[in-house]
Structure formats: C-alpha cells, structure tokens
C-alpha cells in the first residue's frame, strides 16, 4: 500500500533528502524552539513506518512542492 502526501511549498533541495531524517536537523535555520519544531517529526515517522515493515521517501513534485511517499506492506 502506498500513500502520497504533497504540498505546494518550495520543496527541499535534493541533497537534503536524507539529512531531514536526522534527529534535530532543521532545514529552515530561522526556526527555533519559540517558533516551533524540534526536528524530530520525520525521524519519528521513519522509525514508526520502518518498524511496521514499510519505508518513506521524499521527492520534489514536478510542479513544485514536496511529495512524501509512504509504503507499507499489506497485512492479510
């Protein structure tokens, strides 16, 4: 089963696709604890998805924005 979530934002640089899964990594350097985000969202998402036998992948959409694809095994 594959789920794809996309947005219309600026996307992220392709070289940062793996970095954004690192704990406490923030692509947006202007953010801090008072403006939100700890840099754990994608780290946690990947851990949960992989614990269930799936995976998560990022790519920039053809018309801009970011696409997040989550693949999970079907359970019978």
Reported as a single tens digit per residue, the pLDDT across 14-62 is 999 999 999 988 877 665 666 667 778 899 999 999 999 999 999 998 8
In a domain, 76, yes or no: no
In this prediction, residue 64 has a pLDDT band, given cuts at 50, 70 and 90, of confident
Assigned domain for 20 exists: yes
In a domain, 7, yes or no: yes
Q: How many domains does the chain have?
A: 1
Kindly state whether residue 14 falls inside one of the protein's structural domains.
yes
65 domain-assigned? yes
Q: Looking at residue 46, which CATH number applies to its domain?
A: 3.30.565.10
Q: Quote the pTM value.
A: 0.81
pLDDT computed for residue 40 by the predictor: 84
Does residue 28 fall inside a structural domain? yes
DSSP the chain: -EEEEE-SS----GGGTTGGGSTT--S-TT--TTTS--S-HHHHHHHHHHHTT-EEEEEE-TTSSEEEEEE-----
Structural domain of residue 11, as residue ranges? 2-71
């Amino acid at each position: 089963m594959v789920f794809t979530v996309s947005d219309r934002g600026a996307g992220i640089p392709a070289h940062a696709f793996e970095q954004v899964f690192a704990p406490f990594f923030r692509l947006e350097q202007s953010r801090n604890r008072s403006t939100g985000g700890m840099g754990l969202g994608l780290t946690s998402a990947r851990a949960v998805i992989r614990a269930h036998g799936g995976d998560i992948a990022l790519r920039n959409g053809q018309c801009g924005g970011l696409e997040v694809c989550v693949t999970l095994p079907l359970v019978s």
